[in-house]
Amino acid sequence: MKPSKGTWDQSGFECGSLLKLDDEYWLFYTGFGADGKARIGLATSKNLKSWVKYEANPILDIGSPGSFECNGVAFPSVIQGTKEYKMIYGAYAPDSMQMGLATSTDGKVWHKYPHNPVFRQRGWFADPECELWDAGVEVHQTFALGDFYVMLYEGLGNFPHRYNLGVAYSPDCRAWARCPENPIFPLTGPNVKQDMSTVHPMLLLDEMILYYVEVIGASSLAPHRICAAKVDPDLINPLAQKSLSYTLWENREIDPSGEMTTAVPCMGFARRSLYLLSDKGGTVHVEIDPGGLDEWNVLYEDKVMDNRFWTYSTSNCFDRVRLRLQPAKRTQALAWLALEK
């Protein structure tokens, strides 16, 4: 497949996700235009050798000026579900490397999630005060595992061009929890070059072999080499973790009609703690699904005060939990769920 002169991918492309649908392969890929910005396209093939680009490319375009994706969208990670396709994608803006979610019923026409980004950087890697390893994030593989989606991603720390690998879990690709063992390949050993990065993870599930790339040096011309590692199955199992923290809402705008969070499976965790901060008061409900049958009951009801931190913890046993907030006035809210063994 070659770039098309005078189009959105004339400067070249990178791979993203490959799906096989019946007897046809679908490749979701990143294209680079003359404006230097990345967009996402689709190509199909019967034999992996001859490719036909989708006539309505790009299938996912950059965002509006000033948005978290105004400089590009790239590295699509696509999962085919029973009702829809989900795409986790990288999004870029000045001082921003984060991730968005888009969905489609046919794999061709995509709709961005209105509350993007769904997976945020922690700080900014160029800030000399930032000490976090994932102050800039990029997705490379997402797959379904039981009741969850598992994502393998890169995190860029506050050393220029130094990346490590991480794992995150979600019940719906909207609310994510980072693995407490992250980064999974920290570059801190005394025999490891400190300017080395590990990038581009791809897990072979049947054998639990993780393929990844080592980049030796900080230059864009630094040598790259493909490596493999045997992975403990517990690493990709959210229920095997000792603790998890799910971001349910982050700066979510909620009107007086109310809104509920993602429902998170929490069997196997002894303590479940919910946290909420809203700039306008209202009523909050803790709702539970005892047996995982979509039969929801109100476990607890409480009042939320303006700009007052609200929390609720329980050791009751139930399959899933969610929050429902009905503010008195339109509000901006943040919410988390912490699970502990």
Assess contact for 329 and 256: CB atoms under 8 A: yes
Report pLDDT for 37: 95
pLDDT in tens, 188-234: 555 566 568 889 999 999 999 999 998 887 677 888 889 999 999 99
Spatial separation of the C-alpha atoms in residues 127 and 142, rounded to whole Å: 29
Report pLDDT for 44: 97
Report pLDDT for 157: 87
Report pLDDT for 218: 67
Residue holding tokens 């349910």? 248
Look up residue 146 and give its amino acid. Answer: G
Neighbours of 263 (CB within 10 A): 21
13-238 domain in CATH 3.10.450.50?
no
Spatial separation of the C-alpha atoms in residues 307 and 301, rounded to whole Å: 18
58 upstream amide cis, omega within 30 of 0: yes
243-340 domain in CATH 2.60.120.40?
yes
Report pLDDT for 188: 56
Report pLDDT for 193: 63
Ranges in the chain, pLDDT < 70:
159-161, 187-195, 218
Who's near 147: CB < 8 A, 6+ residues apart? Answer: 171, 265
Nearest CA to 335 out of 257, 237, 263, 243 is that of 263
Neighbours of 214 (CB within 10 A): 19
Nearest CA to 138 out of 187, 66, 89 is that of 89
Report pLDDT for 71: 96
- Each domain of the chain, given as residue ranges in start order, spans 13-238, 243-340
Who's near 307: CB < 8 A, 6+ residues apart? Answer: 277, 278, 279
Spatial separation of the C-alpha atoms in residues 3 and 7, rounded to whole Å: 8
Alpha-carbon distances, residue 138 vs 16, 38, 72, 154 (angstroms): 12, 14, 12, 5
Report pLDDT for 108: 97
**Residue 72: alpha-carbon gap to chain centroid:** 16
Report pLDDT for 268: 93
Beta strand pairing call for 264-265 and 209-216: unpaired
* pTM for the structure as a whole: 0.94
Report pLDDT for 220: 72
Spatial separation of the C-alpha atoms in residues 178 and 170, rounded to whole Å: 9
For 208: left if phi > 0, alpha if psi spans -120 to 50, otherwise beta; the answer is left
Report pLDDT for 107: 96
